[in-house]
C-alpha cells in the first residue's frame, strides 16, 4: 500500500514569509508525528497527534510553529515569519496507534533565504 507522502518535496522561501507543509499518513493510521532534521543534527521531535486527543506540542521550538490534523488524516505544519534557522528537512511519520512502529515520509526540504 501507499506509504506516508509529503508535499512539497522542496520549498524555498524568503525570510519572513509563512510556509505550509503537508503530510498524508498511511490510511488507517491514527497517530501522526512531525520531526525536524537540521543540517548536522539528529531528528528532533516536534508534535504528535493521536486520534481525537489534544496534540502533544511539547517539541515545537517557538510559537511561530503550529500544526493541524483535519479529519484525523492529513496534517499541515505551518511556520510563520520564517527565519533562516528554520531551514531543515521536515519529516512526517505515522503509526497504527501511538507507540507503534513509526513509518516516515520522504520529508520536505525547507530553505529560508
* Residue 12 CB coordination number (10 Å): 12
3-class SS of residue 60? coil
Q: Nearest-CA neighbor of 50 among 72, 74, 25?
A: 72
CA distance linking residue 84 with residue 14, whole number of Å: 9
- Give the one residue of 14, 27, 28, 42 binding other proteins; rule: CB under 8 A: 42
Q: Tell me how long the chain is.
A: 113
Contact flag: residue 72 with other proteins (CB under 8 A): no
For other proteins, the closer CB: 42 or 71: 42
Q: Which stretch binds other proteins (CB under 8 A): 13-21, 54-62, 69-77, 79-87?
A: 54-62
Q: Which residues bind other proteins (CB under 8 A)?
A: 4, 31, 33, 35, 40-45, 48, 50, 56, 58-59, 91, 93, 95, 98-99, 101-107
Amino acid at each position: 500500500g501507499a506509504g506516508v507522502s509529503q508535499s512539497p518535496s522542496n520549498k524555498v522561501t524568503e525570510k519572513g514569509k509563512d510556509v505550509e507543509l503537508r503530510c498524508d499518513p498511511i490510511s488507517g493510521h491514527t497517530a501522526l508525528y512531525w520531526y525536524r532534521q537540521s543540517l548536522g543534527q539528529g531528528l528532533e521531535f516536534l508534535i504528535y497527534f493521536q486520534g481525537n486527543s489534544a496534540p502533544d506540542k511539547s517539541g515545537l521550538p517557538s510559537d511561530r510553529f503550529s500544526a493541524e490534523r483535519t479529519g484525523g488524516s492529513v496534517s499541515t505544519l505551518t511556520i510563520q515569519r520564517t527565519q533562516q534557522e528554520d531551514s531543515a528537512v521536515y519529516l512526517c511519520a505515522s503509526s497504527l496507534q501511538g507507540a507503534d512502529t513509526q513509518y516516515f515520509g520522504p520529508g520536505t526540504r525547507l530553505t529560508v533565504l
